[in-house]
Structure formats: C-alpha cells, structure tokens
Homo-oligomer: A and B are copies of this chain.
Amino acid sequence: MSIAQFSAPVAGLPKSCAEIDALAVNTIRTLAMDAVQAADSGHPGTPMALAPVAYALWQRVLRYDPADPTWWDRDRFVLSNGHASMLLYSVLHLAGVNDFDRSGKPTGRAAITIDDIKSFRQLDSRCAGHPEYGVASGIETTTGPLGQGAATSVGMAMASGWLAARYNRPNFELFTHRVWAICGDGCFMEGITGEAASLAGHLRLANLCWIYDNNHITIEGKTSLAYSDDVPTRFRGYGWNVMHVSDANDIDAVAINCAAARESDRPTLIVLDSHIGWGSPNKQDTAAAHGEALGVEEIAKTKRFYNWPEDAKFLVPDGVRERFAEGVGKRGAAARAAWSATWGSYRTKFPAEAAELECLMRHELPAGWDGDMPTFATDAKGVASRVSGGKALNGVAKRVPWLVGGSADLAPSTKTLIDGAGSIGTGEPGGRNVHFGIREHAMGAICNGMALSGLRAYGAGFLIFSDYMRGSIRLSALMEVPVTYVMTHDSIGLGEDGPTHQPIEQLLSLRAVPHLRVWRPGDARETVEAWRQAMLYTHGPSLLALSRQNLPTLAETETKAREGCARGGYVLTDCGCNSPQVILIGTGSELALCVSAQKQLTEAGIRARVVSLPCWGLFDAQDAAYRESVLPRAVTARVSVEASAAMGWERYVGISGSAIGMHSFGASAPIAALMKKFGFTVEAVVAAAKSQVSRS
C-alpha cells in the first residue's frame, strides 16, 4: 500500500487512516520544500523521499515519548545523512516534542516550532543547516559529516546494552531501547561507516537498525559514477541481518521490516529503494533535487502532484498534529508511564544502583570519585606517562563504574585496560574494556555515542593516529561531550617506528579545535592531574598526549601540580626571586629538560623561571592577572621546548622568542639519537636561553 495513492485534498478532513497518514507524510515533505525555498539553501530531495519512512518510524516503531525527550529508555533516532535535516525538524515539530535544556530540565517550549522551521538556516534558528546536538531536544547527535551518525549510533547501541547489563534486574527492565539510523549513499561510501558496521556485526548488536536510503543519486550524478557495491552482500560480510523494502512510500512495509529487525539476533540493515525528490515532476531522481531549493514553479507543480494547495506555505493541515499525538504520542506516553512505575519500584528495591544511575544520568561524578588516584614519589628514573596514565585511568575506573573505553588495538602499548574488568564482546555488552579494533575513526564516533548516552567514554591510540579520527574528535568538541582521548607515543620520543608514527603537527592541530582540551603532562603527577581535569571537564572532550618513554617524576610537581594543572599552566620553579631574566616553557617529556637547563643557568648566574604548560586551552581561559603572573609581559626573553612542531609557540614566546621544536618530520632511530639530532638537549635549551637574555 503506497502513500502515493492517498494524497488527499486538504479541504475537508480526511476520512481514513491511510488518508491522514498521506496527509502527514506530505506535510513533512512540503515543510521541507518550503523551508529550503525560504532559505534558498538546503536539501529538499531526501526529506521528500524519506518522509514516509520517518513517519513510519516515529508513528509505528519508535519507543519515544515526545513529552519527555530525555527519557533514559527512549529509542534513539539518528539521521546520519544530516543534510536532510528538515526531515528531522519536521517530525520533531509535528510530533510535538517538548524542549529540555542540557541539564535535563524542561524549558517550557516546543523543541521545534513552526517559526523555527520558517527560519531554517538563519542565524540563531534552531533549525540549523545540519542537526546540531544541544540546540533542540530530539536531536540526539550532530550529523552532517557523512558516516558520523551511523558510527555514533553503534556507540549508542553499545551503551544501551551496557546500561541494561549493569542496571537491569529480573522484572526491572530499565533499559530496553533500540537505535535506529537512516543513512545515505554518502554514509555508506565513507570508511568510518564500514569500520563501525564491522564492529557492530562482530558484537552482534541486535538493538541496532540502519535504514539505507538507496536512491542512486549523489551530488555528481548517479551513484553508478563511482559506486557499485552490492550493499546487502557487503553487509552480510560484516555479519548483519539484511532486509529490503522496495518502495519508500510503503509505510506498512517499513514498519513491518522494522518490527522484524527487533527479532534479529544481530544488527539489521534495511535497504530501502527510494526516489530523491519524490513527486517533483522535473527533479525527482536527479542530483538537482539534492542540494538546492526546488524553485517556486517546481514547488507548485510538486504540490499539485501531492494534491496540496499550491499557494500554501508551511501548511500543517488539521488532523496531522493530532495524528502524531495519537500515534507516537500515546504509545510513548504509555510506555514511559510503565517504565516510570518500574523505575519507582527499582529505586525502592535497588537504592544503591538507582543512586548510581541518577548520578550517571546527571553527568556528575560520584562522591569521592578521585579517592583512588595513584600517587608517585619523586624519582629521577621516573615512569612513562602512558604508564602513569594507565594507573590514573584505573584509579578513576575504581570509583566511576561508568568509565568505559578501550583502544584501537593498542591496549598493551597505550596501557588503557581497566584492570579486572571484563571486555565488551559478542553477547557480553556489560564489560568495560572495549576492543575497538584497528578502527580509529569509528572509535571516536562510538565514544561520542556512548558519551551521549551518559557513559564516560575513552578511546586510546597513538597520537599520530588522531589524524585518522579528526572527524569524530571534532564532533566531540562541537557537541561538547566529555570523551577522553588517550593518545600515547606523543613525539619523536617513540623512537624507532620513525616518521610515519611520530607526531609533529598533531598537538598544534588539536589545540586549535574549539572546546577540545589537549593535555601534555610533564611527569606522572601531572598525568594524574590531567586525568582528574579530564573527568571534571564536562563541556567538551579532553585529549591526553602521553609519552612512550620514561619521564622523571619531578620534585617540583609534588606540591604544585594539582593546583597548577587546574589552571592549565603554572610556575613550576622560579629563579628564587620574582624577576626572572628568561622564562623556559615546557610540556611533556621536555619539561624535565627545562628544569635541568634552569639549574645550569642558575650556575651561570642567569635567573630563569620554568613554566609548565600542560594545557594551552585551560591556561588561556584563566583570568589575565593569573596569566600575567605566570608569563609576565615584561619578560620577553622566552624559550619554549616541545618535541613537536615549533609552529604555534609564538603564542607564548612571541616573534622574538625561541621555540625549540620540530621543523621537519622525524626519523627512525633510538630515542637518544633522535633527541640529539633534533636538538632536544639541555645544552640547546641553555644556549637558547642565554641568547634570549642577550637579545632582550
């Protein structure tokens, strides 16, 4: 039964369910067409094609109560082809989703009003070009960069399983929710989606369903220009259950297949044949329907085809909102009421678990959460920060049960296993160690999905491979979710693996990402503090750049690291007075060089201050007085030391300062040879400092 057959006149209330369904579907379509036309910018074709699918999902499938879009056990709906944002906005509007702020409190308004839709793609509109998490309730994740939504949905499905495993009790099924994502050709060509699908298949995530919008059209033209995957076969290769719906207008078939997906013991892919720009006489099935307004004339023709009043704009016919209220609204309210009753009893019967869960869902940390952080004695031999980082991680993990994560097949190197905790595996959703496989990009997105579901997620790898996951790291930052990235082997100090593995430009590149806090701690104590700060920072991701090689545990950090790291940078050791002639600024493995250089400078009668600057972003956020106290403007003789790109350090040493850093790629050799070759020696720091003092 195709919706196409039931395009109904607006005048006179429609009589049959099918008619009102058709009216609702065409409302979604026309809202998208009108909004894109008004903005003269956007993507009408996919909402027109997928309106029946979104309608079927919301009305017949999703476990979702528009009255409370923060309900913990709601199904998640992800629009991975985020450019079709009007599809989501229309549905959120028609379903009457209430708005809640990020702390989980209702704001008293609708998530998306018709006025929001009318201001689609205008400044401060909730209806941004692509769906942005945090802007309006019901937007479960930011999408637009292709593949991110799909991969994030895997993290959401893993989180659902994890929450169920940890908190459900017999007859108290607090977590049963499923994750539904719509993906386009773009998502399916992107590598990140393959990575995520492979892991989802491996884990047999039965609570995950993707609907693949098989419309044969991309921006350059027909997909056959560049793409001839046999998608069902490819996904069977990933271990997925694959189904097929041959008509996107067939809402019954969509609903039936989604119901069947619920019965699968593995993730389900529904391949859905659709027609981009469905109903547009001249643009349907062409790239012209993809990324620009249809034009006034074509809209008129299309509306005529829908049997829609040609001149009406942003029309929501009587009965449509009511239809949603009777559908997803009623069903969702009943489901949430039942759940609330369960939750009420659960709180009584399992108060400890309930308290833990509430803490988790409030995005707070348990009282005394940092009571097991490790301590380190001053020690010249020291310890690699990947090792002290591993101990800090385990300290946190003991008290924060919802710290969950792992590495992209590098756990023995990154030291990121949670001791004594099981792994998330096939049929074992409740572990805490995730084996992401060699899939960095998906790892980032999966961490985002877990974080959006309340978990404190971390992902680990070598710093160089942050390059492979920048798309996901950026979304952590844009969504302001607290994912922790543990990136070890943070400089040429990793040695023999050579230039392919030695980060040069990565630190600067990451420091430039808004909201992302990049840490490069100088010893074991600073590493503990970096982890502490990462846990305390809940409005964005943190990235810890940790060393492969041992770092001395410095005497000076014993009393200063905690308070100093909380400010991102601090005076580690001064010249015995408050009037240094030169400031040495170090991070990570080069901090100890600065301390040694300071001693030699003192012997030479030069007053040097050592500033530890483990986190630029946090330091920059301090008030001017504090920053001036650490880096007095009057002291222009400055030397920075970091075994990473020198570029960027002008921010702290100025144009005339000396930035000891890398100006080329690294080399394959043992660390001692490299440090000498590239000039990371006490002698070089001393010489630069003396030269700075002479200059100034």
User: Using a CB–CB distance below 8 Å, which chain A residues touch chain B?
Assistant: 39, 41-42, 82, 121-125, 128-130, 132, 142-146, 185-186, 189-195, 198-199, 201-202, 218-220, 225-239, 287, 407, 409-413, 423, 425-426, 435-442, 464-465, 467-468, 470-471, 474-475, 477-478, 495-501, 504-505, 508-509, 511-515, 633, 645, 647-648, 650-652, 654-655, 663-665, 667-670, 673-674, 677
Contact = CB atoms under 8 A, between A and B. Distances in A.
Contact of A226 (B218, B220, B435, B464): B435
12 contacts: A82-B500, A125-B668, A130-B501, A132-B668, A189-B437, A191-B192, A198-B229, A220-B407, A225-B423, A229-B239, A650-B651, A650-B654
Given A509-B509, A513-B505, A186 B438 contact: yes
A236 B185 CA distance: 18
A225 to B, nearest CB: 4
A419 to B, nearest CB: 15
Q: Which of A465, A514, A664 has the most CB of B within 10 A?
A: A514
A438 B228 CA distance: 13
A266 to B, nearest CB: 11
B229 A497 contact: no
Given A218-B438, A668-B121, A198 B189 contact: yes
A244 to B, nearest CB: 15
Contacts of A425: 225
Given A125-B668, A225-B423, A226-B437, A195 B191 contact: yes
Contacts of A144: 497-498, 500-501
B464 A467 contact: no
Specify how many copies of this chain sit in the oligomer: 2
A219 B142 contact: no
A565 to B, nearest CB: 21
B647 A220 contact: no
Given A132-B498, A189-B439, A229-B237, 6 more contacts: A41-B670, A82-B500, A125-B669, A189-B195, A504-B512, A514-B665
A198 B227 contact: yes
A504 B514 contact: yes
A168 B186 CA distance: 36
A237 B233 contact: yes
Contacts of A195: 189-191, 194
Nearest to A474: B467
B238 A226 contact: no
Contact of A498 (B130, B219, B467, B648): B130
Contacts of A437: 189, 218, 225-227
Contacts of A225: 423, 425, 435, 437
A668 B128 contact: yes
A351 B404 CA distance: 66
A500 to B, nearest CB: 3
B474 A145 contact: no
A509 to B, nearest CB: 4
The residue among A124, A191, A219 with the most chain B CB atoms within 10 A of its own CB is A191
Contacts of A477: 665
Nearest to A466: B470
Nearest to A465: B145
A110 to B, nearest CB: 19
A498 B407 CA distance: 31
Contact of A438 (B190, B239, B648, B668): B190
A472 B441 CA distance: 14
B505 A509 contact: yes
A476 to B, nearest CB: 12
A514 B665 CA distance: 7
A633 B654 CA distance: 12
A145 B506 CA distance: 15
B669 A123 contact: yes
Nearest to A617: B647
A282 to B, nearest CB: 18
Given A123-B673, A130-B668, A195-B189, A228 B239 contact: yes
Contact of A409 (B219, B495, B496): B219
Contact of A509 (B121, B192, B512): B512
A409 B226 contact: yes
A520 B556 CA distance: 45
B496 A129 contact: yes
Nearest to A437: B226
Contacts of A227: 198, 202, 437
A642 B241 CA distance: 49
A233 to B, nearest CB: 4
Nearest to A239: B228
Nearest to A426: B228
Contact of A230 (B237, B438, B633): B237
B194 A191 contact: yes
A341 B345 CA distance: 88
A479 to B, nearest CB: 10
Contacts of A190: 191, 195, 438-440, 468
Nearest to A127: B668
Contacts of A674: 123
Nearest to A235: B237
Contacts of A236: 230, 233, 237
Nearest to A674: B123
A330 B636 CA distance: 67
Contacts of A673: 122-123
A271 B264 CA distance: 29
